[in-house]
Amino acid sequence: MALRTRITDALKQAMKDKAADRLSTLRLINAAIKDRDIAARSGGNDEAVVSDADVLAILGKMAKQRQESARAYEEGGRLDLAEREREEITVIEEFLPRQLTDQETADAVDAAIDEIGASSIRDMGKVMGILKGKYTGQMDFGSVGPKVKERLM
């Protein structure tokens, strides 16, 4: 089942269950996807639709934003708001694939480097491109970048 369909079905189910917090988060997800659809169509292609990889990227970004917000709320002593952010993260992560372990991430980095025969830091962009193509939503590319850089030096 397409990711977009799963989100829509979850939205409908949340409406039936009268789960207000879950419904709110699912509506935010849907709005972000529709915004990306509109941006894709503004390029002149009226048939442009956001792919599952794009939806995964949107969801990953939303989860990361909420993690940062929860951390900031905790530091500010607003535990109620931090808890709300964590609840939203839980809903968002339902649609994300399982995150790779540190060992699986290291193996994926090594495989990508071997695949293109990367030998210097100048090849970092190519390696990251391969990783993003294969593992979108499964790893945090902010933390993977330094690992790739370290491996290529």
pLDDT in tens, 35-81: 988 888 886 666 667 888 788 888 988 988 999 999 999 999 999 99
102-152 maps to which CATH number? 1.10.10.410
Whether the pLDDT of residue 15 is over 80: the answer is yes
Q: Do the beta carbons of residue 113 and residue 152 sit within 8 Å?
A: yes
3-93 maps to which CATH number? 1.10.1510.10
Using alpha carbons, select from 100, 110, 93, 101 the residue that is nearest to residue 148. 110
The vertex-56 CA angle with 38 and 8, nearest 5°, equals 65
Q: Do the beta carbons of residue 3 and residue 56 sit within 8 Å?
A: yes
Residue-range domain boundaries for the chain: 3-93, 102-152
Please indicate whether the domains covering 3-93 and 102-152 agree at the CATH topology level.
no
